[in-house]
Amino acid sequence: FCWRHQLREFSTRFRVVALDLRGCGASDKPPGRSSYGPETLLEDIRQVVEALGTPGEKGEQQPGGTRWPRGPRASRATFSASVGVPKCILVGHDWGGIFSWEFAATYPDMVEKLVIIAASHRAVMADFAAHHPTQLLRSSYVFLFQLPWLPELLLSLGDFELLRTVLTGRWLGIEAPRRRLTEQELDAYLYGLSQPRGLTPPLHYYRNLFGEGPVRLERPLAPVLLLWGARDAYLDPRLGPYLQRRLAPAARLHVLPGASHWLPEDQPDAVNRLLWDFVGTP
């Protein structure tokens, strides 16, 4: 749902498909924390790229599909294929962006171009937060989410009042007044989370952040576009340039003035222009 502005825009040139990440929205919700580990989620993306990509002949580019795994935040990919290998232009926001960094490095032959919107790499975030206490404060909710059952209780109190504040609050939510969510749009976001067991799978993403060994810091080989909001309440504005230096020195970095964390919703026209410029103006 949060990619609706981009779905309309890019369907004029690409076949576009939006999918919920496992455990979110309409996707299956397998039980157990182990079902939501990073390696499992990366494999989900690989299988979708493989299933929707259209193998082509050498030197030929054929249209395929687009994968936008979704929620807690979203990830998107537009597929083309050449030399028999399914390829995609992969676009990820927040959790989708976290997985997109690692997917592009793990499966370089499957990613033609990479767009990261307001999302860090797991290895870089730990190092950055250790040297920037402001980021540690912005990420403090992550430590609360490590607890069992209590985060689910707090987030659901008062008809999900806390989540409503996250999406619509003046500091945490969308900055652009004309883009603030209507009541119907807010209900669309909260519908999946309000279903039985709807909150637990997304929270397992956070609970699995610290459960594995050290995360490998590998640079993606594909060209990278990095988009950041200057007024992101959750990610320090300095993190964007830091990611560029560590992971993609040749990346195009755009920090959008006055923009919140929710860039696809907050400034869809600016995001669309930058995406067209990166993938090729129609």
> Tens of pLDDT along 123-181?
999 899 999 999 999 999 999 999 999 999 999 999 999 999 999 988 899 989 999 99
Confidence of residue 67 (pLDDT cuts 50, 70, 90): very low
Of 211 and 186, the one with more pLDDT: 186
pLDDT over 80 at 119, yes or no? yes
Active site residue 94: yes
The residue assigned the tokens 């964007």 is: 240
Q: Are 265 and 5 in contact (CB under 8 A)?
A: yes
Q: If you average pLDDT over residues 99-107, what whole number do you get?
A: 96
**What pLDDT shows up at residue 215?**
86
Of 237 and 72, the one with more pLDDT: 237
Which amino acid makes up residue 90? L
Active site residue 159: no
pLDDT over 50 at 251, yes or no? yes
Report the share of the chain in percent with pLDDT over 90. 74
pLDDT over 70 at 70, yes or no? no
Instruction: With CA atoms as reference, report the closest residue to 116 among 245, 254, 24.
Output: 254
Confidence of residue 54 (pLDDT cuts 50, 70, 90): low
Instruction: Please write the tens of the pLDDT for every residue from 222-247.
Output: 999 999 999 999 999 999 999 999 99
**What pLDDT shows up at residue 60?**
39
DSSP calls for the chain: -TTHHHHHHHTTTS---B-PPTTSTTS---SSGGGG-HHHHHHHHHHHHHHH-----TT--EEEEEEB-BSSSBEEEEEEEETTEEEEEEEEETHHHHHHHHHHHH-GGGEEEEEEES---HHHHHHHHHH-HHHHHHTTHHHHTTSSSHHHHHHHHHHHHHHHHHHH-TTTS---GGGSPPHHHHHHHHHHHHSTT-SHHHHHHHHTTTSSSPPP----SS-EEEEEETT-SSS-TTHHHHHHHHH-TT-EEEEETT--S-HHHHSHHHHHHHHHHHH---
Pick the catalytic residue: 44, 94, 232, 266? 94
Instruction: Please write the tens of the pLDDT for every residue from 9-21.
Output: 999 898 887 788 9
Pick the catalytic residue: 107, 206, 234, 242? 206
pLDDT over 80 at 58, yes or no? no
HSE-up of residue 8 (Cα within 13 Å, Cβ side): 7
Domains, in order of start, for the chain: 3-54+84-279 (3.40.50.1820)
pLDDT over 90 at 32, yes or no? yes
**What pLDDT shows up at residue 274?**
97
**What pLDDT shows up at residue 55?**
59
Active site residue 206: yes
**What pLDDT shows up at residue 263?**
96
Q: Of 33-47, 84-98, 208-222, 228-242, which gets the smallest average pLDDT?
A: 208-222
Pick the catalytic residue: 121, 204, 254, 261? 261
pLDDT over 50 at 87, yes or no? yes
